[in-house]
Amino acid sequence: MSAARRELGAAVVGAVLAGALALVAGGQAWAETTVDRRPPLPPVVETLSGADAAPLVPATGLVLLAAAVALLAVRSAGRVVVGLLMAVAGGVLAWSGVRALAGGLDVDGAAVDVTASWPVLAVLAGVLGVAAGVVVVLRGRSWPGMGRRYERAPADAPPAREQTDEDRSQAAWKALDRGEDPTA
């Protein structure tokens, strides 16, 4: 396996791992809010998930997963664009985790108790996303792309093989289904 393929594989794995960690972190309980009420009413306690506390966490996770697939499908300048998108998504992900840790989850009239583990996981996923994105921007142009066989053939390209009687019969039935006269 060549060094370029290993780098591509590492970038794809980094994007998948960062995206998966973001989705896992976004689904967990990040904070608990407590609103005191006048006696004899008990306080209201509510749990905030990562998606509630920082909605960009699961969104950036999905962006990073989509970028992992896009890395395999695009070449050259397209990879640079995907790498920039990965770096931005990773930065937003890390910022969301740091914001939660720094007390940015203020809820009006409520005491907020943040659980540090899941925001820290979001920060780590963000750092991984940024690192993978930077590697893609710096090295992605030299990586191999998908083979030409996956590209769409031009409309005027001849068929890949000779048409058989079965193919012509199928084409006639499909024309009838479309409301066309296959004998015309």
Domain limits of the chain? 3-147
Q: Tell me the CA distances in angstroms from 160 to 46, 51, 102, 164, 182, one per residue in order.
A: 62, 49, 61, 12, 22
H/E element, 63: helix 56-73
Token pair in block for residue 66: 């989509």
Q: pLDDT band for position 50 (50/70/90)?
A: confident
pLDDT over 90 (residue 182): no
Q: pLDDT band for position 167 (50/70/90)?
A: confident
Residue 158: predicted pLDDT: 66
Residue 84: predicted pLDDT: 96
Alpha carbons 85 and 92: distance in angstroms, whole number: 11
Residue 120: predicted pLDDT: 94
Nearest CA among 9, 19, 32 for reference residue 114: 32
For domain 3-147, the CATH class is mainly alpha
